[in-house]
Structure 1
């Protein structure tokens, strides 16, 4: 999800700088919401269960050019099958592997992921417009649809969900942060963190309200768009919040924004919270447990810097 949201500036710049072109986007059905209402897109295509069906369908479009922003086996097969000109995103797999394996941080690419995506269209004369990422909310929502009156004004959106354990703060750290924030707090996440949210809410009282497991992603994005400030881990919803230029406290454990090139992008105010450790980062995308068993990357993060950023 995070990688896909950072492709949106490429689509926007292509359409705005080459207004007569048609721009189509192919992705998995699970990620269609990111582009469902994008005004710069001519058409959205979804991967079929069988890759051959997808190739057959897109061949009928008679495309002139492929911009491959994924660069994996699937996209390589598609490019070979269509046999038309293409430009492909360079993943720097070897440099990233060496940086991760041996902690050779000087090998980590210095460019943001958006800039590296933009390199694929430079040959067309396309330039980065240096504007935020795009997300267009589908539903016509209102705050009263989701939040009690006590949490509709100047609330802090706290994204407590993340796919992998090493990306999440322990509950006790979240509770301490929530107890010291002076604004009402809305917890966001899926059903996988619903029990966590209930425990946090019980320990913090009416100051905290949970929407975990009760809102879909589009609704959660709406709530983020109305928040005063945002706290989140390395997860899709946190990255999507950057589309709305909300002050963001981004908390990193076993992963690091530098390795992935996904530091907060084109927002006016942000905090990256993480601790320097010889074992960090331990993975690119997160793990189900700390490989060394101590989980210091999250347990040692000082709550004060996050509280000060939100209260400031």
Structure 2
């Protein structure tokens, strides 16, 4: 039977978005052996996935890594990253490689021209499936997945008693500054939300989260920088809804089918990175489970397909001019839907 190597080196959201492909390959190709090649930082995303037989980690010793992969005798590589490093992998392994259509040219043109119609109106997940189409693998209609190993979640009893009947998870982080609301705007938004809030984020977000908790000690618990990836995922799993930027936490929220309010700065959903719940919730039905909050009229947006450490035009209107009342209303609406 076939032995295949799936490659996606980063990042959290991108790897979560590969999970429907892993599931469908394993279920639709009887007897297949499926290995995954990624960076060590992202091993937690795959360690409990029942559809992955083995995970190989990218190290600084490329030659040793290639020797190890050659010893596995793969039949083909499924390249879901498609960059210079995966081209090098193909050159070294000398086996068939099926590459994800990354659409970098189209994305660049959208950034330059702001013509969103240049991109297909589909999720990145659906483009991942194009890569495995030659194997006869097709989407099963289900969404992305996240697997929390036993004993690595977050004990709900660690939260205050007032949170036991429901809370909103708020992922305040982001890979780039232009994908995050400024702290002062987030603090203003916190004042408009009456529900218990658990703040999530990386170590770099801990100080901002601490300010929020000090301002609203009765309704905000700051866990930014204090949780493992699995614990953060479990906090989202146990929440009523998720408020998040365009980040990996957004895709983890989709994995647990959480109602979401997603906030977009310099990036746009049309790049294909919106939450993916499966074919039942395509872009035309997105309002069923998540809201997109964005500054649609801004002529300089998108300014990048990824992000910057500061707004190229300094004004940062894509985040600073978002209607906080609109966001708070969306939170209220989603909260009421869950409790109805």
Q: TM-score, normalised by structure 1?
A: 0.96
Which of the residues 63, 69, 73 maps onto 2:74? 63
- The aligned residue for residue 294 of structure 1 is 315
Distance 1:129 1:120 in 2: 15
- The aligned residue for residue 209 of structure 1 is 221
Structure 2 unpaired stretches of 5+: 1-11, 282-287, 334-340
SS in 1 for 2:187: helix
Which of the residues 42, 54, 58 maps onto 1:47? 58
- The aligned residue for residue 235 of structure 1 is 247
1:97 aligns with 2:116: no
Which of the residues 226, 232, 249 maps onto 1:220? 232
Matches within 5 A, 1:121-270: 121-140=132-151, 141-144=153-156, 146-259=158-271, 261-266=272-277, 268-270=288-290
Deviation at 1:53? 1.4
1:12 aligns with 2:32: no
1:273 aligns with 2:293: yes
Q: Alpha carbons of 1:142 and 1:235: their partners in 2 closer, same or farther (altered >3 Å)? A: closer
Q: Deviations over 1:230-269 (max 9, x none)?
A: 000011122211100000100000111212x011111651
Taking only aligned residues, the RMSD between alpha carbons, in angstroms, comes to: 1.4
Structure 1 unpaired stretches of 5+: none
Find runs of 4+ consecutive structure 1 residues off by over 6 angstroms: none
SS in 1 for 2:217: helix
Judge conservation of contact 2:99–2:131 (CA < 8 Å) in 1. yes
Q: Deviations over 1:31-57 (max 9, x none)?
A: 111111000111111112122111110
SS in 2 for 1:14: helix
Judge conservation of contact 2:154–2:231 (CA < 8 Å) in 1. no
Deviation at 1:289? 0.6
Deviation at 1:142? 4.7
Q: TM-score, normalised by structure 2?
A: 0.88
